[in-house]
Amino acid sequence: MRIIARHTLVDFYRKHPATKAPLEHWYQVARASEWKTPLEVTGSFSKAKVVSEDRVCFEVQGGNFRMIVAFDFARSIAFIKFLGTHAEYDKIDAATIDLF
């Protein structure tokens, strides 16, 4: 998968250093994957939850943070739509959020 945009991850883990290892792990797995469905994504990340036919929510750093990613499976692109604390996640609509 092509990840749009990696700098979002880097900027976030610079502010929240505890997220660096899990976000880098997610990036490496996602980049090497050829997922075609949300269920394939959750097969790689057991704690990930399907939000819609093109969106998946990932727990980061033991669930202290959340990341919403929208996928264009036909073009093998992953778009990071939200990355924030669990408290921030509770205030958004995961199906429509588009912060980046």
The pLDDT > 70 percentage for the chain reads: 100
> H or E segment at 58?
strand 55-60
Average pLDDT of the chain? 95
d(CA 61, CA 95): 22
What does the domain layout of the chain look like in residue ranges? 2-89
Q: Give the residues across from 4 on adjacent strands.
A: 79
Mean pLDDT of 64-89: 96
Identify whether 5 is preceded by a cis peptide bond (ω within 30 of 0). Answer: yes
Mean pLDDT of 24-47: 96
Phi, psi of 41 (to 5 degrees): -60, -50
| pTM of the predicted structure, to 2 decimals | 0.93
Q: Spelled out in words, what is the top-level CATH class assigned to the domain 2-89?
A: alpha beta
Instruction: Answer whether residue 74 shows pLDDT above 90.
Output: yes
